[in-house]
Structure 1
Amino acid sequence: MLAATAPATIAQDDGFYLEEVVVTARKREENLQETPLAITALSAEALQRRQIVGTDDLDKVAPNIQFASHGPLTGNSSASQVFIRGIGQTDATSSVDPGVGLYIDEVYMGSSVGGSMDFRDIANIQVVRGPQGTLFGRNTIGGAVVITTGMPGEDFGGTIKLGAGNQGLMEINAAVDVPISESLKTRFTYGARERDGYVEQLSSGLDLGDESTYTLTAKALWQASDRVDLTFKFDYTEEDENGVPYVFADISETAAFPAALSANAGCPGASFPPPFIPDGVVDGLNCVNSATFSAGEFANNGSVIPRSTLENSGFAAIANVDLSDQFSLKYIGSYRETNWTGVRDADNTPYVILHTSMNSDSEQSSHEIQINFEGDAFKSVLGLFYFQTEADEDLSVNFTPPEGVIIPVSNDAILTTESSAIFGQITYELTERLQFTAGIRYTDETKEAFLDQFSSAPAGLEDGAGPLLSPAPDANGQGITEVYEPIIAATRYVLLENNVIEFDDTSGHLNLAYQFDTASVYASFSQAFKSGGWNPLYNAVQPLSDSEVGDTQSGPGNPTSFAPETAETWELGFKWDPSDSFRLNGALFTTSYQDLQITNRVGIVPLLFNAGEAGIDGVELEFAYTPSASWIVEGSLGLLDGTIDEPVDITTRTVVDGVVTEVVATQTVQRGNATPYSPEATANVGVSYIFGVGDWSVIPRLDANYVGSQFFDAGNTPEIAQLDSQLTARFALTLEDDSGDWRIVAGIENLTDETYPVAGNSSLATATGYAEIVYNRPRTYYLNVEYSF
């Protein structure tokens, strides 16, 4: 039932025109221009025309959305960081839920890893902006991205597309419809993509940021009767890549680990323990400093061999039953498994300051029942939802710390979530033009964390007791000082017991909409929440919890919890079609963002905590204009102001010889900081022209995208920020034969070869003192040939 058509399509005889857009964000098919929500809808034809080939491209066509891969901490290339209207989540590990819900064929994807993907066999995409806590539920506090893949066709046929380009690009995508009988139809797809990386690791010669992935899907549609249809789907994705293209951004010369390494290497003026020398003094080749280790935007100076793998598979079943002319029943069931690894050199230097290796095996299952009623003046949907997931996440960490510091070297966490919800929404037409909508959802959730953690104290840095880790320049910049792995005296610091928290939430939605002859306007109020949970990482310094889940800490080694975060949005919007050739949609909104879940380093470990409150205000406009059948101009504008208003102090506790000491920790999040991934302005505009040459239609297309400056963390760390606004462009030339059998596309991405940051991670304020950053891929070009049969 999910469907969405683009605001403009190509007709071989008539050129470009605006058509009715069908969306399903309210769990029933509706005209976009009569749906009182902020939605961007893209059909397969629109995705092709605008050359949107993956989730990372969605911010090129929709306002106030940032979709980035390479989530920090995981070391996995498919880890997504999705923000809509300044709300999302930067931590993609299993202990943290995403802030924007991703749905594929109506199934919620619970893992951020795997959320960054190529688009293959896509029927349509809907980007629904603003809290969607009533109908979509948990973890849609920023909004939802709803993806629908192709359905089996009536007749045998399909498509095959071959592609090639610079930087070693090779890809194939194929889909075939195979009808079994009049009532049973099937569809099979295969896709594979290979591309070289664009960042060289100097120590190994590996190319980081490479792409190596393939996907298989099988879908069956059984029309059991005139009133019953069932859809079954299986999908499998595998990725095996060299690793995330992070590079060195900065290092704090006075942080404990870098300072100790400098002193150990005989750096002039370096000493450890404190007092430390000031930044800027440590500038020799044998010293740990930014000048020594910075290798530019496309070179990695790390010593560990990075790797990123993903194996993602799932089965889904959807049943639609028409109980009567007005009542219908839908069931959505799914089971999924996700296995991934991520190996990274966090400091990106020849030293072993911080290396991580993470492995995660997870499975999820979900069940949803919807009962829809469609009357003349009254419409409703009632539903039940159940979701369960279990993730076994192993983290290994290698350090070269100062002597005697207690550090974690192994962290094994089994994290489970069980969530159930009941929801309902009604829409009543008060008059022929005025309608009122009200909805509510109640969610009950339990999260458990079973932890097994080891810590150790190193015997020495340079005593040769352990294996050689890495060379370092000596005091004269000649030869090496041998740095050895510390002797590990493993100690289990966490009792093998289950840690359990429970919470519930009630989210609502109110909407009043009025329909004019050529326009509609609406005012709405929406709520949503993002789940709380556990910090599974060991840390000797423990933050106290004063959240609603209570004080769950009793000393070092015990896991810390964090509470859910919530958002409430007031919105005014309009949809305007003054003529058959022009369409303009817009929204004005203000959001109260409470109990922000923000990553902050306490000690040396990244922990999630509730950081206080933020206010987010914004404006969105989307338009499409066809001055004639030969031209289309389309684009969007997003303005955003997200500010952290009330940061909360973190009180920490240390226990030494049974003595508890509580202090207020250093807070990197300050009042007035911008919310992450919240550029003040985003804009895009594209122009297409169609003309005929013999039996072919020729369609040149030029797109431009603007993204204002933005920070990638709540601490607003400038070393990993996009401090300058960016203007990029891309071009595509499409040839289509009049029979519709052949399509040839040649294109250029990043037309002017701009370089700018797209993600970052900072631990500058901790003992490890590192910062890492990812830049965009340089200019690429490609050629695709597609044949339909």
Structure 2
Amino acid sequence: MTSIKSRLRGASSTYVISTVMAAATILVPAAAANAAGQQESSVIMIEEVVVTARKREENMQDTPIAVSAFSEKALERQQINGTTDLDRITPGLQFTSYGQLSGNNSAAQVFIRGIGQVDPTGAVDPGVGIYVDDVYMGRSVGGAMDFNDVANVQVLRGPQGTLFGRNTIGGAVILTSNTPGDELGGSAKVRIGSDNQREFSVAADLPLGETLKSRVSVSRRTRDGYVTRLVDGLDLGDTDNWAVKGALRWTPSADVTVTVRADYSKADENGSPFVFKEINPNAAFVAAVSVGAGCPGATFPPPSTPEINDPRCANNFWNLGPFTNGGNADVSSKTENWGLSGVIDWTVNDNVSLKSVTAYRDLTWSGVRDADNTPFTILTTDYSSVSKQFSQEFQALFEFGALHGVAGLYYFDEDTNDYVTVFLGAPPPVVAAGGVGSRDLQIVDLSTESWAGFTEWTYDVSDRFSVSGGLRYTEETKGMQLIAFNIFPSTLPDPDPLPTSTPALFVEPDLFETDFSSMTGTLKAQYRWSDSLMTYASWSQGFKSGGYNQRYNAPPPGFLPIAFDEERATNLEAGFKADINRVFRLNGALFHTKYKDIQLIYRLGVVPLLFNAGSATIDGAELEMAFVPTDRFMIEGSLGYLDSKIDEITEVPGTTATVGPDNRLPFTPKWKGNIGVSYVFPLSGDLELTPRVDLSYTASQFFDAANSIEVAQDKGVTLVNASLRLAEREGGWNLTFGIENLTDELYPVAGNSSLSTATGYAEIIYARKRTWFLSAGLEF
């Protein structure tokens, strides 16, 4: 019999993928035939997209990088309302919230081409860089965000270590806000929908003079949760946030522009929508709480819990389905995020332009999570964090005829304070006797100081052939000071003063520092065969920062914190970009990535720790297509293929490996595709009606490198969204009704498993089922 895991490794949707591929094949000759007859008066035309993947504005079709770019109108057309929607329309990208172990709804898990990071703690850096208005966001929490007055989004696939630097080993997601306009005006949007969804946003341009312009935007979003807690009816997975942005643009001369931005957002929500998935009735903590609660037949020792339908037993009868939670901890998710930035652009002359980006950001967040999702205290985490970052970047852009390039300096400084309490059903003998458990308290100060110098140059050998090369050198210092110890019983308050030495503390409370340095480079060659076709080949490198592990519930060797080094990736890629009269566009890439020194989770007891203990190979292919067969009909889509596996792992003495050779990397579905179709029907009175259908497919995938089948997406998922939009032809007002997940699919989006440890639990999050919305917009 074929195992579930074997089926998961090879599963794909032949029907969906063949549909998308067949569409692309059929459309190529159709596009060519249509190109000559395309009229200037076309209602629909493929957008000419400008990207900044090489730190300068250039047409996406001229850029030798695999990049997906979406304007504000394209995002609205496809109902992409936030960063977590981007993976529906972007090959190679997986973008989900609810980062493992965080309990926070805005904790992003972002993977591009199989490389990313699931751990949101302050000691671990993301593997995909998120940039908002030229500013790097240092923490993964806050990365899962709604779009508020966003002008465009770019997704750069593959290592971006030369121009974007550290923590872009998988790629980068770049968000750019609208800039202040020259005339008074703006827009407003409202949206209602299922589960008491209520949203509104307003943005306005407010000119303050000939040289000074401003823009302000405000948004508010609320929605009921979709997972109900049995004990008190609390709805989990709710939305309750608001955000405000402001921008000033000053042009003291034709050659100088100064842009100052400020943003603030706040979310106060009930908690992540995790539910019980599975429990190991023979795990020590599970059996101990069952005995303590009086479960008939439960024993400790030896640890054993009978599978009987009795509320006193911590067993698999607590699986209440995908939308009911059996926990009782005081769960919550809170995020407060704000920042200031200043950008100076100075065109010195026809050959040289200078740019300065100065920014400060402040992030405060918390997440309380009932990990076992039962009424028992097997494992509950209470995580609070404050992070402050400052960054400064200087860029110089050069244009010398056939030679053009960029050079720059970058500085980054970040301080993070984490305050973590972990409630445990331990020690098990006390819990089994009816006593309360203990709790681990971890107070950690983390610091990062990094600087880098970089340059990349392009030489146009001819009008058709160009070569590029670049280097970046980075140095960084990571620091950690940790207070970690156990409090027994858990009902005792935090001691004052705190312990100051081992063995009361798990780790020496000294300041520990470690230094890293990295040289990353890129080489590219591109050839333009005609005005419609460009091909390229590239070699690129990237790295993700190392640091110190901060989770301990027992002393590590020598009472010293365990450090881990950088990850590294090297990518070989060949691609093409074809665009026929902005009527048919087809971009594609083939890539081969060697991923080394992977930071993999090994367990020291029940605690997950990171070690550089693996290497992997990732091969893949991507296609993106847009086609306008008539002036009112549009088809757009993408297709991605990923073949990833861990080649080897290294044994770490004293720990238990959770990963094996041939395991797949997390968040790497083998196949992923989407296709969207829309048609504009002209109506009387300067109105138009646009029906649209979007189909997306994601093959089976794991949510951890351990390939835990109990919390995996074990089969392919096909989603269908549909909408009907009525609008004035030349802007003005619009009205849209839509249905998301039209076929009411049930599928997981995140999960976490500790079945093999003493805590013995597995938890999972499912997406919302079918929902509807009605939105209205007005431009003024």
Deviations 1:743-767 (CA, angstroms, capped at 9, x unpaired): 1111111111111000001111111
Displacement, 1:313?
A: 0.3
| Mapping of residues 535-546 of structure 1, within 5 Å | 535-540=549-554, 542=556
CA distance, structure 2, for counterparts of residue 84 and residue 513 of structure 1: 23
> Which of 688, 695, 714 in structure 1 is aligned with 2:678?
688
Residues 193 and 211 in structure 1, CA contact (< 8 A), matched pair in contact too: yes
> Which of 264, 270, 279 in structure 2 is aligned with 1:236?
264
CA distance, structure 2, for counterparts of residue 503 and residue 222 of structure 1: 39
CA distance, structure 2, for counterparts of residue 617 and residue 584 of structure 1: 20
Displacement, 1:580?
A: 4.1
Residue 567 (structure 2) aligns with: 565
Deviations 1:411-458 (CA, angstroms, capped at 9, x unpaired): 000111001000000100112211110011010010111111221455
Residue 638 (structure 1) aligns with: 640
- Structure 1 residue 582 corresponds to structure 2 residue 572: no
> Which of 178, 182, 193 in structure 2 is aligned with 1:165?
193
Residue 408 (structure 2) aligns with: 383
- Structure 1 residue 747 corresponds to structure 2 residue 738: yes
Residues 265 and 286 in structure 1, CA contact (< 8 A), matched pair in contact too: no
Classify the secondary structure of the residue corresponding to 2:253.
coil
CA distance, structure 1, for counterparts of residue 186 and residue 640 of structure 2: 38
Displacement, 1:595?
A: 1.0
Residue 522 (structure 1) aligns with: 536
| Mapping of residues 103-122 of structure 1, within 5 Å | 103-122=131-150
- Structure 1 residue 370 corresponds to structure 2 residue 395: yes
| Mapping of residues 233-272 of structure 1, within 5 Å | 233-272=261-300
Residues 300 and 429 in structure 2, CA contact (< 8 A), matched pair in contact too: no
Q: Which protein has greater RCO, CA pairs closer than 8 Å, 6+ apart?
A: 2
CA gap of 1:169–1:286, structure 2 versus 1, over 3 A, is closer
Residue 503 (structure 1) aligns with: 516
Displacement, 1:192?
A: 0.4
CA distance, structure 2, for counterparts of residue 289 and residue 260 of structure 1: 9
Residues 85 and 130 in structure 1, CA contact (< 8 A), matched pair in contact too: yes
Unaligned 5+ runs, structure 2: 1-30, 32-38, 432-436, 494-501
Counterpart residue identity of residue 219, structure 1: A
| Mapping of residues 406-417 of structure 1, within 5 Å | 409-417=440-448
Counterpart residue identity of residue 325, structure 2: N
Deviations 1:698-725 (CA, angstroms, capped at 9, x unpaired): 1111000000000000000011100010
Classify the secondary structure of the residue corresponding to 1:45.
helix
| Mapping of residues 428-577 of structure 1, within 5 Å | 428-458=459-489, 491-517=504-530, 518-540=532-554, 542=556, 553-555=557-559, 558-577=560-579
Displacement, 1:272?
A: 1.9
- Structure 1 residue 315 corresponds to structure 2 residue 340: yes
Displacement, 1:533?
A: 0.7
CA gap of 1:651–1:288, structure 2 versus 1, over 3 A, is farther
CA distance, structure 2, for counterparts of residue 19 and residue 151 of structure 1: 19
Residues 56 and 69 in structure 1, CA contact (< 8 A), matched pair in contact too: yes
Displacement, 1:301?
A: 0.5
CA gap of 1:785–1:359, structure 2 versus 1, over 3 A, is same
Deviations 1:130-182 (CA, angstroms, capped at 9, x unpaired): 00000000000000000000000110111111111120111110001110111
Displacement, 1:86?
A: 0.4
Residues 541 and 602 in structure 1, CA contact (< 8 A), matched pair in contact too: no
Deviations 1:528-549 (CA, angstroms, capped at 9, x unpaired): 000001111223263xxxxxxx
Residue 74 (structure 2) aligns with: 46
CA gap of 1:19–1:189, structure 2 versus 1, over 3 A, is closer
> Which of 409, 415, 425 in structure 2 is aligned with 1:400?
425
Residues 270 and 282 in structure 1, CA contact (< 8 A), matched pair in contact too: no
Displacement, 1:269?
A: 4.3
- Structure 1 residue 142 corresponds to structure 2 residue 173: no
CA distance, structure 2, for counterparts of residue 291 and residue 399 of structure 1: 19
Displacement, 1:121?
A: 0.7
Counterpart residue identity of residue 500, structure 1: E
Deviations 1:183-222 (CA, angstroms, capped at 9, x unpaired): 0000000000000000001112110000000001110000
Residue 499 (structure 2) aligns with: none
Displacement, 1:94?
A: 1.1
Residue 719 (structure 1) aligns with: 710
CA distance, structure 1, for counterparts of residue 234 and residue 613 of structure 2: 39
Counterpart residue identity of residue 220, structure 1: L
Displacement, 1:497?
A: 1.3
CA distance, structure 1, for counterparts of residue 316 and residue 756 of structure 2: 19
Counterpart residue identity of residue 70, structure 1: Y
Residues 390 and 417 in structure 1, CA contact (< 8 A), matched pair in contact too: yes
Residue 479 (structure 1) aligns with: none
CA distance, structure 2, for counterparts of residue 13 and residue 103 of structure 1: 37
The CA RMSD measured in Å over matched residues stands at 2.0
> Which of 246, 256, 259 in structure 2 is aligned with 1:218?
246
Range with bigger deviation, 290-299 or 192-201: 290-299
CA gap of 1:283–1:97, structure 2 versus 1, over 3 A, is same
Counterpart residue identity of residue 542, structure 2: A
Classify the secondary structure of the residue corresponding to 1:33.
helix
Residue 616 (structure 2) aligns with: 614
Deviations 1:219-267 (CA, angstroms, capped at 9, x unpaired): 0000011111100000000000000000001111111101222333444
Classify the secondary structure of the residue corresponding to 1:628.
coil
Residue 25 (structure 2) aligns with: none
Unaligned 5+ runs, structure 1: 1-6, 460-464, 468-488, 543-552, 653-664
Deviations 1:459-501 (CA, angstroms, capped at 9, x unpaired): 9xxxxx989xxxxxxxxxxxxxxxxxxxxx9943333310111
CA distance, structure 2, for counterparts of residue 458 and residue 192 of structure 1: 43
Counterpart residue identity of residue 158, structure 1: G
Residue 368 (structure 2) aligns with: 343
Displacement, 1:286?
A: 5.2
Residue 631 (structure 2) aligns with: 629
Classify the secondary structure of the residue corresponding to 1:492.
coil
CA distance, structure 2, for counterparts of residue 706 and residue 185 of structure 1: 44
CA gap of 1:707–1:224, structure 2 versus 1, over 3 A, is same
CA distance, structure 1, for counterparts of residue 438 and residue 507 of structure 2: 13
| Mapping of residues 690-705 of structure 1, within 5 Å | 690-694=680-684, 695-705=686-696
Deviations 1:68-89 (CA, angstroms, capped at 9, x unpaired): 0011111100000000000000
- Structure 1 residue 204 corresponds to structure 2 residue 232: yes
Classify the secondary structure of the residue corresponding to 2:61.
helix
Classify the secondary structure of the residue corresponding to 1:596.
strand
CA distance, structure 1, for counterparts of residue 295 and residue 226 of structure 2: 33
Counterpart residue identity of residue 458, structure 2: T
Classify the secondary structure of the residue corresponding to 2:657.
coil
CA distance, structure 1, for counterparts of residue 758 and residue 404 of structure 2: 58
- Structure 1 residue 95 corresponds to structure 2 residue 123: yes
Classify the secondary structure of the residue corresponding to 2:75.
helix
